[in-house]
Chain A
Amino acid sequence: MEGRLPIGVGSEALNDLSRSAESRAPARQDVALGRRAMNVAVLKTKVEQALTENFAAVEDQFPGGAEARKVRDAAIGRFGALGLPNRRVEAWKYTDLRNALKEVLPLSTGDKAPVTGSDVSAALGPLAGIDAQQVVFVNGAYCEDLSTIGSGSAVDVRSLAEALSLPEATALLSAEGRDDDPVLALNAAYATDGAVVHIADEAKLDKPLLLLFVRAGTEPCFTVARNVVSIGKGADVTLIEAFVTLPGASQGGQENAATKISVGDGASVAHVKCTIDALNGTHLANWLVDLGAHATYNGFQFTSGCKLLRNQIGVAFKGENAQIDISGTFLVRGSQHVDTTLVVDHAVPHGTSRELFKGVLEDQGRGVFQGKVIVQPGAQKTDGMQMVRVLMLSPDAEFDSKPELEIYADDVVCGHGSTSAELDEDLLFYCRSRGIPKAQARALLIESFIGEAIEKVERDDVREALAELARQWLAECGSTKRT
């Protein structure tokens, strides 16, 4: 097994370059078809073509020197070979990206539209209450005026655009064994900016570090952010990523975000991602996490935005005795589609992993959860437990769940579960019999349902902000329902 296991495309599907949409043949035949197709012109969708061609057109504008350019060229080459994943690719069977993407928006390299601190606070909503060191990106470019980060010995933050001029540039764009993921390949090719963060050994940060990605302007655009975070041994940090839209800005847009994070031995990290932006937009994201020995990593993802969203999370245990909790909540309504795809790779013994995701699906909302836990040969004493629970508020909502355990060691405790249920009528009646109106009773029960996941967030200020975001979402649902 080389490097991280693929979240993206299965090896057979890798060779699937045939583009006959009606082909329902099993994967093995696709391989043959694909090989044959290699010799003839490969049929690409307009969007795939545009992604490759647009890259060539803007390549000169990307930050970084000749080295970085080589890496970007290689990445777009990979993307060209892979194409956009479709439902016949096992890991994408519930999220057919090729079918869903109908156009490519113009790449934003940051615009100089003046955005003020109070604009940003408005977009952050309850998150604005968190006292954090902020690193702000507007439409894909670092915004120094709005960032409050000071350079100290404990934390070093610079923009990716700046960092790419330094010698380690190639590493910042490398896919690290995930060459087969077209979304990551696009990210490496197109990354315009992002945060490059170093946390010193033993640094204890009182304030969270907030990486804020703001969408501004009335023209929807394509933004690509890449963050690379290294956390020193024994450090203790809270890192928050928030994706927000300014009031009045376009609700469309396409976003590709990746955060690579390496957690040093004995470090303790809380990593929160909050995506509440662009209701009609597309958001494709990756978290790539490497864990040192005795590290503690608590990840949490709050999602209540976007028409089409996929959060891929890959965690690799590199040192023994590390423990992770990756949890989250996804609130889906209208015709939104939210996909969480998680791969936890226990490569070494004595790792502990917990996942709890709670979803609420309203209207024609669709939720997808794919969670794979791999226990490599020799990763004895692994303790893994995964759970996803979904509340279906509408008969038209859909939930697809694919939990997988791949266990190659014998002395392990692993389990997973997945449930979907409707709101309990008896509970609802009990609340109403006490005078709580139906909409409020529903909100109370849903909030408590989500609460079990949100409770996982340890910091009071962050947890409260997320709970408030959930309440706001519920109130909006209730108000559109009361007709």
Chain B
Amino acid sequence: MLEIRDLHVKVEGEEREILKGLSLKIPKGEVHAIMGPNGSGKSTLAYVLVGRDGYEVTKGDILWNGESVLEMEPEERAAKGIFLAFQYPIEIPGVAGLTFMRSALNAVRKTRGEAELTTPEFMKLIKEKAHKLNIDMEMLKRPVNVGFSGGEKKRSEILQMEVLEPSLCVMDETDSGLDIDALRIVAEGVNAMRSKDRAMLVITHYQRLLNHIVPDRVHVLADGRIRKSGGANLALELEKSGYAEFQEEAA
């Protein structure tokens, strides 16, 4: 279970708080969605979960399986099964996608006490998963994300997620940049990963993705806090009413 308790976060060196007492619980086996207006702190939450530098937690805690992650290095969190599909995936010139994924997979397997995959085993795994996500193997021989279209980057993030098989999947605006076919393919991939041993958090600005990945719970993040929570229907309501209600309150 992911448990976020009264989380307060600001950017290092700045006064203004971005998250102002956010609390949230996602039990394993469930998919939750966080929706909210631009600038409400959704990506900040995602980054703090995976331990990106530059943010300061001034109060509160994040527990994954009962253990606080705040003092853990990013790679330790990854080893504990935490994964973020980035809103803006980063380009790594000079490092081929296959090399990168193999390094990551072997590192993660090592911490799980599993043997490294042989080259044929690894290639078989990648080919299978890439095929399902409609990703060309040639693309994976190129440097990670370099020269990829927006949609290709998002699919490559989901491929990494499928290969690494994390137990906490956080997806930040994975739908942006995807056309309707790609959206369907990605959603199928995500749905296939739903499992009783896995918690998932889908962050999105629009309801569109949630037609395909139907969440167990939907939370509205505005002004640094969860302002409202409900079932999948809440997303549909928001689609009609927009975020005005929450933004007015915030103002």
Option from B73, B111, B160 in Cβ contact (under 8 Å) with A438:
B73
Nearest CB of chain B from residue A482's CB, rounded to whole Å: 13
Q: A435-B107, A435-B111 are in contact. Are A448 and B92 (CB under 8 A)?
A: yes
B78 touches A432 (CB 8 A): yes
Most chain B CB inside 10 Å of its own CB: which residue of A427, A432, A444, A447 = A432
A444 touches B95 (CB 8 A): yes
Is B29 in the interface zone, CB < 8 Å from A?
no
A435 touches B53 (CB 8 A): no
Is A287 in the interface zone, CB < 8 Å from B?
no
A440 touches B103 (CB 8 A): yes
B90 touches A432 (CB 8 A): no
Q: A436-B75, A437-B75, A437-B107 are in contact. Are A425 and B93 (CB under 8 A)?
A: no
Option from A431, A447, A448 in Cβ contact (under 8 Å) with B93:
A448
Is B108 in the interface zone, CB < 8 Å from A?
yes
Residue of B nearest to A449 (CB): B94
A433 touches B50 (CB 8 A): yes
Residue of A nearest to B94 (CB): A448
Q: A435-B164, A438-B73 are in contact. Are A430 and B104 (CB under 8 A)?
A: no
Option from B52, B78, B107 in Cβ contact (under 8 Å) with A440:
B107
Residue of A nearest to B144 (CB): A430
Type the 1/0 row for B92-115, where 1 means its CB is closer than 8 Å to any CB of A.
111100011001100110010000
Is A451 in the interface zone, CB < 8 Å from B?
yes
Within 8 A of B (CB), among A413-452: 425-427, 429-438, 440-441, 444-445, 447-449, 451-452
Q: Across the interface, which residues of B come within 8 angstroms of A448, CB to CB? A: 92-95, 143
In the complex, A273→B74 CA distance in Å?
40
B73 touches A436 (CB 8 A): no
Is B2 in the interface zone, CB < 8 Å from A?
no
Q: How large is the interface on A (under 10, 10 to 19, 20 to 34, 35 or more residues)?
A: 20 to 34
Q: A435-B111, A435-B164, A436-B75 are in contact. Are A444 and B93 (CB under 8 A)?
A: no
Option from A432, A440, A444 in Cβ contact (under 8 Å) with B73:
A432
A425 touches B53 (CB 8 A): yes
Residue of B nearest to A452 (CB): B94
Q: Across the interface, which residues of B come within 8 angstroms of A433, CB to CB? A: 50-52, 74-75, 77-78, 83-84
Q: A434-B104, A436-B107, A444-B103 are in contact. Are A429 and B92 (CB under 8 A)?
A: no
Residue of B nearest to A432 (CB): B74
Is B185 in the interface zone, CB < 8 Å from A?
no
Type the 1/0 row for B67-79, where 1 means its CB is closer than 8 Å to any CB of A.
0000001110111
Option from B86, B95, B164 in Cβ contact (under 8 Å) with A445:
B95
Q: Across the interface, which residues of A come within 8 angstroms of B94, CB to CB? A: 445, 447-449, 451-452
In the complex, A218→B226 CA distance in Å?
71
In the complex, A436→B75 CA distance in Å?
6
B95 touches A435 (CB 8 A): no
In the complex, A440→B78 CA distance in Å?
14
Q: A425-B53, A435-B107, A444-B103 are in contact. Are A430 and B73 (CB under 8 A)?
A: no
B160 touches A434 (CB 8 A): yes
8 tightest Cβ-Cβ pairs between the two chains A and B: A448-B94, A435-B78, A434-B104, A432-B74, A435-B108, A430-B90, A448-B95, A435-B107
* Other A-B pairs beyond A433-B83, A433-B84, 7, CB < 8 Å: A431-B100, A431-B103, A431-B104, A432-B75, A433-B77, A435-B164, A452-B94
12 A-B pairs with CB atoms under 8 Å apart are: A429-B74, A430-B90, A431-B100, A431-B103, A431-B104, A432-B74, A433-B50, A433-B78, A433-B83, A434-B78, A434-B108, A436-B104
Q: Taking beta carbons and an 8 Å cutoff, which residues of A are in contact with B?
A: 425-427, 429-438, 440-441, 444-445, 447-449, 451-452
Q: Taking beta carbons and an 8 Å cutoff, which residues of B are in contact with A?
A: 50-53, 73-75, 77-79, 83-84, 86, 89-90, 92-95, 99-100, 103-104, 107-108, 111, 143, 160, 164
